Amino acid sequence: NLYSALCEAAYMTGLERNSDVVVMASYAPLLAREGMQQWTPDMIWFNAREVMLTPNYYIQAMFAATVGDQVVESSLDGLNKLIYHVVTRTEDKLYVKLVNVSAYAEDMTISLVGVPDGMAAFTRLTGEKNAVNTFQHKDRVAPVTGECAIANGTAQLELPAYSATILTFPLK
């Protein structure tokens, strides 16, 4: 369900923050045939006709698509203790990963040094805490994309309850 995927995402922010020590991590179990599974959560389900991706799959894909090569020092001040984060960068992009495992939305102001004014892209996975994808409703929990404005080194963002949001800020 979405909540288990968000718990994985919270854990993965710690993996990234400690990437100087954590060299790699893996996900198991990966595949499950409908009606033949031994345990959950499995990341990708299939039957004779189709494939169904879980919220856990989407979290893994979102994190894999936004890997920085340097961890940036960051902090969350005055926010709910159930929000996890990590900030990484490449030469031309800054990634801010925010995971809210609480039942409450948070309004945030993100201060960004050295990020030019403009627009940042975001990908977000959110929904009801116990929501699951099924073969009948494959996209009940699926990422959505959008943009947020950056002006004078700050970005305003609402972090929904039960959500993982990854912002990508251009550095050039």
**Inter-residue contact 77 to 103 (CB < 8 Å):** no
Reply yes or no on whether the pLDDT at 168 is more than 90.
yes
What is the rounded average pLDDT of the residues 56-75? 95
pLDDT for 59: 97
Please tell me which residue, 68 or 113, carries the higher pLDDT value.
68
- Whose CA is closest to 81, among 59, 56, 99, 62? 99
pLDDT at 40 over 80: no
CA dihedral (153, 158, 164, 165) positive or negative: negative
Q: What are the pLDDT digits (tens) for 84-128? A: 999 999 999 999 999 999 999 999 999 988 899 999 999 999 999
Is residue 42 over pLDDT 90? no
Per-residue pLDDT at 166: 98
Q: What does the alpha-carbon distance between residue 98 and residue 90 come to, in Å, rounded to a whole number?
A: 18
Q: And the tokens for 144?
A: 């959505």
24-39 pLDDT tens trace: 888 888 899 998 877 7
In the structure encoding, which two tokens stand for residue 30, read together?
Answer: 């990966």
Alpha-carbon dihedral sign for residues 145, 146, 150, 153 = negative
Using CA atoms, how far residue 81 sits from 32, 99, 141, in Å, is 34, 11, 24
Give the model's pLDDT for residue 139: 95
